[in-house]
Structure 1
Amino acid sequence: MTLLDAWQSALRQRLQGLRLPTPPGGLGLWFTLLSFGFLLAALANHGRQMLQLSLDLQGWLWLVLGLGLSLLSLVVNGLGFAVLLAWLGLRPRWAAIVRMYLDTNLRKFLPGGIWHLTTRLSQLRDPAGPLRGGASWPQALAAVLLDPLLAAAAALALVALDGWQDGLALLGLLPLALLLPRWLRPLLVALERRQARRLAASAEEATPGPSPPLPGGYPWRPLLALLAFVLLRFSGFACCVVAFDLQGSLGWTGWLAGFALAWTAGLLVPGAPGGLGVFEAVLLLRLGSQIPEAPLLAIAIAYRVVVTLADLLAALTARADQRLDRRLDQPLDQQP
């Protein structure tokens, strides 16, 4: 064993043995309350200025375009999940995976923020589900946990496009190093220890066994697929920026870095359904010193409405498509 290996082993043991005190209700609840408190204070301070803002016809058309791009990003997100499943050695039915992803995505807004994950776990394990032959619990759990991890790593890497930013660029690139095979495996094990019992209890399953072996290489394909998803997500946000005619207030790399940081916070902070409140608060904190807060808050709210409508339309479309497939599979004499 080399000195580096010994140091890494000691660090992992120290982190595993570390127990930090948690406040009543958990950190997620307090993050959510603080984010909503900050957002409400911003609305109270700038509400009158926001009421003075208005959109012309061209602005509304930009919002409609943002809705379409946000809807497309969800489809790409589902395809990225299918790429991840294939990278893990599973055999996805691509169209069925996308439908499942779109259908379950709306459940992230339910209290607890895990019901979209538990539904995907159940469907991935179903032999008649969107995977050919289904997956074991450890395989399904690894896929469900790696999906947001890779998306967050892809988004944070975009923060570096806006320059050094007092070291924030380096912090944004560090998650890419954690995806190296020697680090990804212990990271996945740590995530499973933290989430497995909670997800298993919610899905009414037994506690899962050891995690499955991961492919030896770097997860380039799922990472790039999820990077495309994040960029499409940003394009929907960019349409909201243009709708309020603020594209000249900050360079696009600055907008992208601020969006990527806020989107990642909304994805990873526990307790906030769909990142509600967290995304808006982080966006204001990051860009509020460069952009007037009233129009920035209007952009954040407009984007929230756009992506929520996209989530709803995607789920309704997926369910309608599933019903149509079942009807077409029925014999003609049994169809209504």
Structure 2
Amino acid sequence: MAARLGALAGQLPGGARLWVGLASFGFVLAALAANLRSLLQLSLDGQGWWWLLLGVGVSLLSLVVNGLAWGVGLRWLGLRPRWGATVLLFLGSNLRKYLPGGVWHLVARLRVLQRSGLAPGDGVSGPGRSAADPLPAPLATAQALVAVLLDPLLMAAAALALLPLGGWQAGLGPLGLLPLLALAPRWLAPLLERLERRRAAQLQRRGLLEPNEIPAPQLRLPGYPLLPLLAELAFVLLRFAGFACCVQAFDVAFAIPWGSWLAGFALAWTAGLVVPGAPGGLGVFEAVLLLRLGVSVPEAPLLAVALSYRLVTSLADLIAAGTARLDGGLLALAAATPDPQVQAAADERA
């Protein structure tokens, strides 16, 4: 069935990603048109603007936690990440998820991991080569792909694990726990291998990988990824905290319990992460949120919450990327500047 659906999606003009994105945007635009008058009547008071500003700060913090969670995943894989450089790489590349294709943030991390620890032009790796590198030594393509793909997989599992907090939901709540079972090594290893091959084939078609770089299935995992999963759970909860600030800004928290808000957000956010649509989940997140919560929450305020949350997170992404670029440049400059004491000792020996 999955193969047939994949073949059918491949026959669509422009691919499934284009049509899913158009359908999601069309649904959101239709909702905007139907509620335009009500939306124009909404306004924010001073407290509402402060809630949105707090949402930007919380969303920015969530990105830092996401970078740290990625580092926890690298550590679980047996690697030795440099935490500062790892977070800076994550933040600096995160803005590329909005580029067409939705893979360029992953490609940027993949390339850095492949050359991490190498001095330009020498091809020699070693510990302490550069403090600006996230790892002390470069990774093979297979290792780098796993290191990059594990993060979104754990994010999706952590988000779906929050669905039961919204209650039974016609059986949807308990289903959110099933991905936690899929993280057991006997199922996670073949799943990662499959994702690895698909992503490698996709990058090869784009000319970003050589044909002989597609990895063979030889993945061995150290066990259940409990610590990386908990780190990603902290990230998702902070992401929801930013969303909750937008809910408070428009004063609609009373419409449903907070557990239902959390479950609806988790489902919509996961759909925006995994459903092939517009880059960054644009349109997909908003459409799923409206479909899931539009029955219980007035549609106009819910639209305002969804759109303001998109602006809040996009602004946080922009601030994080800009700050990471600045900090990364300073870190690279500091790494390239010789220590005065070491230089003085070298001059004396000379």
**1:305 offset after TM fit, Å?**
0.3
Q: State TM-score, norm by structure 2.
A: 0.87
Q: Tell me the distance in 1 between the aligned counterparts of 2:334 and 2:112.
A: 21
Alpha-carbon shift at residue 327 of structure 1 (Å): 3.4
RMSD between superposed Cα atoms in Å: 1.9
Give the letter for the 2:293 counterpart: L
Distance apart, 1:144 and its partner CA: 1.2
Q: Does 1:145 align with 2:149?
A: yes
Alignment partner, residue 184 of structure 1? 188
Question: 2: distance between equivalents of 1:196 and 1:28?
Answer: 18
Q: Which runs of 5+ in 1 are unaligned?
A: 1-13
Which residue of the partner structure matches residue 168 of structure 2?
A: 164
Structure-1 residue corresponding to 2:125: none
1:41 maps to which of 12, 30, 54: 30
Q: Which segment drifts farther, 64-73 or 185-194?
A: 185-194
Aligned with residue 265 of structure 2, among 243, 254, 259: 259
| Equivalent position SS for 1:89 | coil
Q: Name the structure 2 match of 1:31.
A: 20
Name the CA distance, whole Å, in 1 between partners of 2:261 and 2:25. 22
Equivalent pair of 2:77/2:222 in contact (CA under 8 Å): no
Alpha-carbon separation, structure 2, partners of 1:288 and 1:159: 17
Structure 2 distance, partners of 1:124, 1:151, is 20
Q: Aligned residue for 1:296?
A: 302
* Counterpart position of 2:126: none
Amino acid of the structure 2 residue aligned with 1:98: V
CA distance in 1, matches of 2:299, 2:96: 31
| 2:116 is equivalent to residue 112 of structure 1 | no
Q: Distance in 2 between matches of 1:158 and 1:30?
A: 29
Q: Secondary structure at the match of 2:215?
A: coil
Whole-angstrom distance in 1 between the partners of 2:116 and 2:339: 26
Q: 1:279 aligned to 2:285? A: yes
Please give the alpha-carbon distance, in whole angstroms, between the structure 2 residues aligned to 1:234 and 1:198: 31
1:77 shift after superposition: 0.3
Pick from 82, 97, 107 the counterpart of residue 86 of structure 2: 97
C-alpha deviation, 1:53, in angstroms: 0.4
How far, CA to CA, are the matches of 1:149 and 1:203 in structure 2? 25
1:219-234 residue pairs with structure 2 within 5 A? 219-234=225-240
Query: Aligned to 1:238, which of 244, 248, 261?
Result: 244
Cα offsets for 1:62-94 (capped at 9, x unmatched): 111110000000000000000001111111111
Sort the Cα spacing of 1:99 and 1:73 in 2 relative to 1 into closer, same or farther, 3 A: same
Aligned partner (choices 281, 296, 314) of residue 308 of structure 1:
314
The alpha-carbon deviation at position 323 of structure 1 amounts to 1.7
User: CA separation in 2, counterparts of 1:95 and 1:200?
Assistant: 31
Within 1, Cα distance between the matches of 2:18 and 2:204?
21
Partner of 1:9: none
Q: Percent identity, please.
A: 61
Task: Name the residue aligned to 2:136.
Answer: 132
Is the contact made by 2:113 and 2:138 (CA closer than 8 Å) also made in structure 1?
yes
Rg bigger for which structure? 2
Q: Contact 2:142/2:196 (CA < 8 Å) preserved in 1?
A: no
Cα deviation, residue 214, structure 1: 2.9
Q: Please say which of residues 306-315 and 244-253 is displaced more in the overlay.
A: 244-253
Query: Which 10-residue stretch deviates more, 208-217 or 293-302?
Result: 208-217
Q: Retained in 2: the 8 A contact 1:76–1:228?
A: yes
The code of the aligned residue for 2:36 comes to: G
Instruction: Judge conservation of contact 1:80–1:225 (CA < 8 Å) in 2.
Output: yes
Residues 138 and 212 in structure 1, CA contact (< 8 A), matched pair in contact too: no
Matched residue, 2:8? 21
Aligned residues: 320
Secondary structure in 2 matching 1:21: helix
Q: Relative to structure 1, is the Cα distance of residues 85 and 134 closer, same or farther in structure 2, using a 3 angstrom cutoff?
A: same
**Counterpart of 2:199?**
195
Cα distance, 1:326–1:127 mapped onto 2, change above 3 Å: closer
Give the distance between the partners of 2:308 and 2:285, measured in 1 at CA. 13
Distance 1:17 1:79 in 2: 38
Give TM-score scaled by structure 1 length: 0.91
2:46 aligns to what? Answer: 57
C-alpha displacement of 1:322: 1.3
CA distance in 1, matches of 2:5, 2:52: 47
How much does 1:170 deviate?
Answer: 2.5
Offset, 1:138: 0.5
Give the structure 1 partner of residue 122 of structure 2: none
What is the distance in 1 between the residues matched to 2:241 and 2:68? 18
Change (3 A) 1:32 1:19: closer
Contact 2:197–2:214 (CA<8 Å) still a contact in 1? no
- What is the CA-CA distance between 1:173 and the residue it aligns to? 1.1
Distance in 2 of aligned mates of 1:16 and 1:211:
20
Distance 2:197 2:298 in 1: 43
CA distance in structure 2 between the aligned counterparts of 1:56 and 1:19, rounded to whole angstroms: 48
- Gap change, CA 1:15 and 1:37, over 3 Å in 2: closer
